[in-house]
Structure 1
């Protein structure tokens, strides 16, 4: 596949007003999306967003571009990314668009695209959109300009969809839950889902002001949730990110339960119930402890590249149902068409109810290997794979691990960062090796610059 100029692993993303990511670009992107879709005839595009202050501006620009291409818009307002995927299907729309930069700070924003089936847009269509962006903007005749309207009760529709993720006659009465919506897209729907199922809910991260999304809250900063769970004496906590497609949890002791642990406990429960549907897909970042625990239980485990797009591709290729990332982006294909933090949380709560055991016990199925991730800012134009210094540091680290750990270096698909990951049973070795590789990386970029 040819290298793409704008699309990364999760749509188009950037800092608003810097570089290419401007209202003018988003208008042109909307036009390009609409032009490509309209080749198959006129239709409706569902548009949702998170709570960033730039979302209002970019929503208008995107709407203008889509309308200029002759596509109608159904505007949802603030709505989780998985809700847009679901509503794209239920409204029989031609595509869905989410204006969000997920777990990034408020100054960033992005455009994520879904097909009519509620799945990430295929690479071939993204390539067509990129090609269209290079063409002069030519709007349709005035008689064919698209129309826009606001959706009625989109939030209510999605809440009911989430509640159906629990088995019939299961409720959450008697559970005390703290929900952290990261001041993001799920600030209204997330507490409502758990309350309508009978739980006693304390909600934090539900006062967005356009600037506080993901700030000291949500999956990127779960300490606030951990403190609140302990303060409330809650049974558990649920942390979402800015667009609610990621989930981390906190047990009653205030201990974090990450995506690997959630994925594993769901896999073991499904195996026992006969509903696993094959094996499990993780990523290159998944802890080796998860792989060992699943293989010991007789569950096949495959690693995909980092990014939910690649997890989905591997699931489809294998015909499996369950996969995800350490970060909490988890996919249950028999429940949703994309990662959904709320639906996944309800899957976990269903397991807790059926087992009659607390989250702290259920997560003990695996012993984590010490793992350290160092994020190094990437200098534009630098390729760590071509750096002799960096590659030598990696080779030396792997030699010292002698097969008892892993080293991974990769460029982020959503941020200008290089991620250095080292994993081993020896925590001191992990610290030393990760710092050495990161130092060599910084030195190589300084030398190249």
Structure 2
């Protein structure tokens, strides 16, 4: 049976796979599991629910609130807020549960439900499995009378609390920096421009007028051509692009060149090392990060610890080792001293702070790392579980690694959601990368 929870919560086509009745039941089950050890003699369990602006979020947030209230949980709805803002508010309001209704960078017809435990931390797989199991045996009845949970619509101070937190996290004066921010018509549409302006930057906001239907539509961190063009047109020092729920940030320098998550991590890691705030001089990244990041960090005396793909695995490693910086090439950057999950607005503030502190352009800062050419081929397969055990594939992989030596890298991994196997090759010479990747893809396809 297919697991309900994916790599980042429950996600699917809204009102098809992800329906209001499912959200209602999921909310009741989550309330049961996540408040199991709450001391109700001191106070009633509480939950915070936020969403991005997509139209189905209104429906799903209402259903989720109803499900939780039916199990005696008081619910505070905070309206449209970035995912990292919801995680922060879960802790700031001292709530037992946080719920974010968002499909992140996915198109408008999709939506998703992400849960956070007390303190604003993502749930481990085992707890998600408990919630899924609880849905099967859920008692449709619940507390009655005064024991029913209350639903408080739209907290009035939620956004202000999150903005104050961001300002406390990055206090550097950004006066003199002109930034274009692409809000993807998403959850950052109000917050990100306000946060950057409050820090002193001159802000030009684009795609910051959500209408419930235009989130991620030709904009944001998955459509970088928009902000590349805007930065050059406005003569800005840099551009920052967020996704629909603003847990990602990608950048563009003044010439319109993309600065991806690996490069942002390299910039921030070297800055934190200088101030002795990079714990154990270690950066956490995933296996999909460019080899150029590891080579640059080695030169700077910084160790890179690798995890499997997914910000949840980066978070787990950060917590396990007590490390202070991690992230993904896609722009999820995590700074545990200020956030419990990736925070795109915080990343943008820290990147501009580094520019202000050094007097350097983003293009100059990005020179800390040379991005090696990377070729990624998605190969449709009949059974992805068999690929790495195939002798022909193993032999081809060994030959490719020998051919590339220390100047390149090969990564073979299954997709988390499709019957697809990903072949990724990096090399200093792009032609060699293409040749090796094509050869490996052909071997994988033949299995």
TM-score (norm 1): 0.91
Q: What is the CA–CA distance in structure 1 between the aligned matches of 2:29 and 2:36, rounded to whole Å?
A: 11
- The residue aligned with 1:194 is 196
Q: What is the CA–CA distance in structure 2 between the aligned matches of 1:240 and 1:112, rounded to whole Å?
A: 18
- The residue aligned with 2:8 is 10
Deviates more, 1:29-38 or 1:416-425: 416-425
- After TM superposition, list the pairs within 5 Å mapping 1:97-108 onto structure 2: 97-108=99-110
Q: What is the CA–CA distance in structure 1 between the aligned matches of 2:194 and 2:381, rounded to whole Å?
A: 40
Q: What is the CA–CA distance in structure 2 between the aligned matches of 1:358 and 1:104, rounded to whole Å?
A: 32
Q: What is the CA–CA distance in structure 2 between the aligned matches of 1:299 and 1:220, rounded to whole Å?
A: 29
- Partner SS for 2:288: coil
Provide the alpha-carbon RMSD of the alignment. Answer: 2.2
Q: CA deviation at 1:391?
A: 5.7
Q: What is the CA–CA distance in structure 2 between the aligned matches of 1:110 and 1:416, rounded to whole Å?
A: 22
Change (3 A) 1:442 1:152: farther
Question: CA-to-partner distance for each residue in 1:341-372, whole Å, 9 max, x for gaps?
Answer: 11111111111111111111011011111112
Count of residue pairs brought into register by the alignment: 438
- The residue aligned with 2:156 is 152
- Partner SS for 1:8: coil
Deviates more, 1:3-12 or 1:144-153: 3-12
Change (3 A) 1:217 1:29: same
Q: CA deviation at 1:264?
A: 0.7
- After TM superposition, list the pairs within 5 Å mapping 1:241-320 onto structure 2: 241-278=243-280, 279-320=282-323
- The residue aligned with 1:178 is 180
Q: 2:116 aligns with which of 114, 117, 121?
A: 114
Question: CA-to-partner distance for each residue in 1:51-95, whole Å, 9 max, x for gaps?
Answer: 222111111221121112221111111110000000001101001
Q: CA deviation at 1:142?
A: 2.2
Confirm or deny that 1:61 pairs with 2:63: yes
1:398–1:406 contact (8 Å) kept in structure 2: yes
Change (3 A) 1:175 1:384: farther
- After TM superposition, list the pairs within 5 Å mapping 1:365-444 onto structure 2: 365-375=368-378, 382-383=384-385, 385=387, 388=390, 394-395=397-398, 397-402=400-405, 404-413=407-416, 418-438=421-441
Q: CA deviation at 1:236?
A: 0.5
Confirm or deny that 1:347 pairs with 2:350: yes
Question: CA-to-partner distance for each residue in 1:88-140, whole Å, 9 max, x for gaps?
Answer: 01101001010111111112211111111111123332221121021144231
1:95–1:113 contact (8 Å) kept in structure 2: yes
Q: CA deviation at 1:48?
A: 0.7
- The residue aligned with 2:144 is 142
1:38–1:69 contact (8 Å) kept in structure 2: no
- Partner SS for 1:282: strand
Instruction: Structure 1: state its 5+ residue gaps.
Output: 445-449
- Partner SS for 1:97: strand
- Partner SS for 1:7: coil
- The residue aligned with 1:129 is 131
Change (3 A) 1:251 1:62: same
- Partner SS for 2:366: helix
Instruction: Structure 2: state its 5+ residue gaps.
Output: none
Q: What is the CA–CA distance in structure 2 between the aligned matches of 1:158 and 1:11, rounded to whole Å?
A: 23
Change (3 A) 1:402 1:200: closer
